[in-house]
Amino acid sequence: MDQVKVIEIKKSVFEDNDKDANNLRKELKDRGVFLLNLMSSPGSGKTTTLISTLNLLKDKLKIAVMEADIDSDVDAVKIKEATGIQTIQLHTGGMCHLDAEMTRQGLDNVSLEGTDLVILENVGNLVCPAEFDTGSCKNAMILSVPEGHDKPLKYPLMFSICDVVIVNKIDVLPYFDFDLEKCKEYVRMRNPKAQVIPICAKTGEGVDVFANWLLEQVKNWKQQ
Amino acid sequence: MDQVKVIEIKKSVFEDNDKDANNLRKELKDRGVFLLNLMSSPGSGKTTTLISTLNLLKDKLKIAVMEADIDSDVDAVKIKEATGIQTIQLHTGGMCHLDAEMTRQGLDNVSLEGTDLVILENVGNLVCPAEFDTGSCKNAMILSVPEGHDKPLKYPLMFSICDVVIVNKIDVLPYFDFDLEKCKEYVRMRNPKAQVIPICAKTGEGVDVFANWLLEQVKNWKQQ
């Protein structure tokens, strides 16, 4: 099994997270590094989505992954083994989210030289991660079909801060009462600008649409 | 559509939640009321499980339901309409969990006279609700098949504090890589005493096992 670097994240001491997040974003801009914050419920398929996406992008961009979990290194090892991409594990020690300072602790352990894209896989939680700006350039979230199309009604903040909503596990649509059109309508209620991308991370269906979206964001970030 | 009482929960001012939770438990004991704290990820089927369970128990016990959500009253209305049981909606105003004082704010709005069982449907979140004792007599959680059998590895605290783990959506087992035996093994790693009950809330399969477990708990609570 590949060795993955494990970072034990310390609680932040900064009081003004928004200011700290803006500073981090500016630093990333200066270095030409795009940071994506990827959020979702537990078990929505973040890791599988990441692996499919990374395999489509790894020849086009230099990428690093920071995998945040309360405990366990299972996903970080899986990502490194399946993609060969630089992956580090962030242990939050029970904490339910990452803020900008915690994200910075991770970035300090990534070799950023020449890196185009860093993906932060946030803690599996639809509530707290939405409340803390990580300093990311864009926010993405995954909603999986079995969770139901009503989630934008119940977790408004999460959907309102995300630039893209990936609807995963569309292969099991026939077995669940999930209405994709209603889902899109509810997402628009929370955030009219958010893009909705249906995918099946397991089979790869639709993952190219997300990969192209991400490629476009990285290019824009570097050119702006 | 039935009217459901909506309570806007205020942030707690008590510093010692554990003490407050023990006091609440003692008060409930004195009144012969059993409080169950039901937790899970978003979209694991808490509401459907509750409806199936309540319909099996409502002729045997006097029951009330407190439905906690960050926003929306969809589930509370659904429960009241499907079961006729006294249901109130707790709005947490963005907060990711309930503690004992917040639970008490809900209980103050429930008619407890003669009530045997109150079920608190906590905020959909596998992280924060596990950290705060609500004052409940027992904790239950739902893990749904699409979330994967590895969740006890990733959310250790949640699994370690639960007396029962309901594995829901077993009707879709053929479409997911979910190993029930591995799941039981991982749950036992976190909590050797936790009972694992596989169910399908939609078809009702296995719900009687959970309902009987709950009935037994209520009887023991009153007799002890």
The pLDDT confidence band at residue A95, using thresholds 50, 70 and 90, is: confident
Helix (H) or strand (E) holding B197: strand B195-198
**pLDDT, block means (10 residues), chain B with 224 residues:** 72 82 97 97 96 98 95 87 94 90 95 96 95 97 97 95 98 97 97 97 97 98 90
- Per-residue pLDDT tens for A124-175? 999 999 999 999 999 999 999 999 999 999 999 999 999 999 999 999 999 9
Confidence (pLDDT) at A14: 67
Domain boundaries, chain B: 10-223
- Per-residue pLDDT tens for B136-152? 999 999 999 999 999 99
pTM of the model: 0.93
pLDDT at A40 over 60: yes
| A44, A67, A96, best to mutate vs chain B, most B CBs in 10 Å | A96
Nearest chain A alpha carbon to B147: A43
User: Are A126 and B125 within 8 A, CB to CB?
Assistant: yes
User: How near does any CA of chain A get to the CA of B100, in Å?
Assistant: 20
pLDDT at A49 over 70: yes
Homologous superfamily (CATH) of A10-223 is: P-loop containing nucleotide triphosphate hydrolases (3.40.50.300)
Of A120, A200, A190, A192, nearest in space to A166 by CA: A200
**Residue A132 with chain B: CB contacts under 8 Å:** none
Question: Where are any strands of DSSP class E within chain A?
Answer: 5-8, 34-40, 63-69, 86-91, 117-121, 138-144, 164-168, 195-198
pLDDT at A1 over 70: no
User: Are A126 and B127 within 8 A, CB to CB?
Assistant: no
Question: Could you tell me which residues of chain A have a Cβ less than 8 Å from any Cβ in chain B?
Answer: 41-44, 69-72, 74, 94, 96, 123-128, 131, 144-148, 150-151, 153-157, 169, 171-172, 175-176
Of A122, A199, A107, A201, nearest in space to A162 by CA: A122
Describe the crossing of helices B100-107 and B17-31 by its angle, rounded to 10 degrees: 30
**Residue A172 with chain B: CB contacts under 8 Å:** 146, 172, 175-176
**Residue A127 with chain B: CB contacts under 8 Å:** 70, 94, 96, 123-125, 128
Q: Nearest Cβ partner of A151 from B43, B94, B156? A: B43
pLDDT at A2 over 70: no
- Per-residue pLDDT tens for A54-75? 999 999 999 999 999 887 788 8
B127 or A13: which leads in pLDDT: B127
User: Are B124 and A124 within 8 A, CB to CB?
Assistant: no
Average pLDDT over residues A100-111: 94
Question: Which burial class, exposed, middle or buried, applies to A114 when counting CB atoms under 10 A from its CB (0-12, 13-18, 19+)?
Answer: exposed
